[in-house]
């Protein structure tokens, strides 16, 4: 099994997967997020298929200093079989090939269930606060 850049015919399935795994939020437009990452020069969205069905995704990018991973998702019925690890390893490899030396990710405080998963993959808690500010004035998805 291999993680490859999503093809256009998989975009809708990727968004369905993000919805099914609770990754979409009212203030994020997943289609805009996906297209921006896919079309960006330093980002992509990887996917993994089984029998033609998209079963896992991860968005990965490099901001010029660090790598970041977003939208890691494994189809609920396929979880627990190594796909999450495979996707994270594919993201790490993508970043290594572009010269990144460190990768970051954010976990929502409401998503405690995944902390053990990232612990097992060697992702340590960083001694930083993540702060955010909307740049479109009113906090609405762009």
Ligand X SMILES: CC(C)(COP(=O)(O)OP(=O)(O)OC[C@H]1O[C@@H](n2cnc3c(N)ncnc32)[C@H](O)[C@@H]1OP(=O)(O)O)[C@@H](O)C(=O)NCCC(=O)NCCS
Which residues contact ligand X (rule: CB under 6 A)?
A: 21, 23, 72-74, 79-85, 107, 111, 113-114, 116-117, 120
Nearer to ligand X, 128 or 138 (CB): 128
- 3 state SS of 92: helix
Min dist CB 131 to ligand X, Å, is 18
Which of 36/118 has CB closer to ligand X?
Answer: 118
Distant-in-sequence, close-in-space partners of 11: CB < 8 Å, separation ≥ 6 = 31, 34, 35, 38
In whole angstroms, what is the distance from residue 84 CA to residue 118 CA? 10
Measured between alpha carbons, how far is 3 from 13 in angstroms, rounded to an integer?
Answer: 15
Residue number, 73 or 100, with CB nearest to ligand X: 73
Give me the least distance between CB of 129 and ligand X, in Å please. 17
């Amino acid at each position: 099994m291999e993680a490859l850049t999503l093809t256009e015919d998989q975009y809708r399935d990727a968004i369905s997967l993000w919805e099914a795994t609770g990754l979409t939020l009212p203030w994020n437009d997943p289609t805009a997020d996906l297209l921006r990452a896919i079309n960006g020069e330093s980002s992509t969205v990887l996917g993994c298929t089984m029998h033609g069905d998209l079963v896992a995704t991860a968005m990965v990018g490099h901001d010029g200093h660090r790598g970041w991973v977003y939208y890691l998702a494994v189809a609920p019925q396929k979880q627990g079989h190594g796909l999450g690890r495979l996707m994270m390893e594919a993201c790490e490899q993508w970043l290594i090939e572009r010269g990144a030396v460190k990768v970051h990710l954010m976990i929502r405080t409401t998503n405690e269930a995944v902390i053990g998963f990232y612990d097992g993959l060697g992702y340590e808690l960083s001694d930083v606060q993540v702060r955010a500010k909307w740049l479109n004035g009113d906090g609405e998805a762009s």
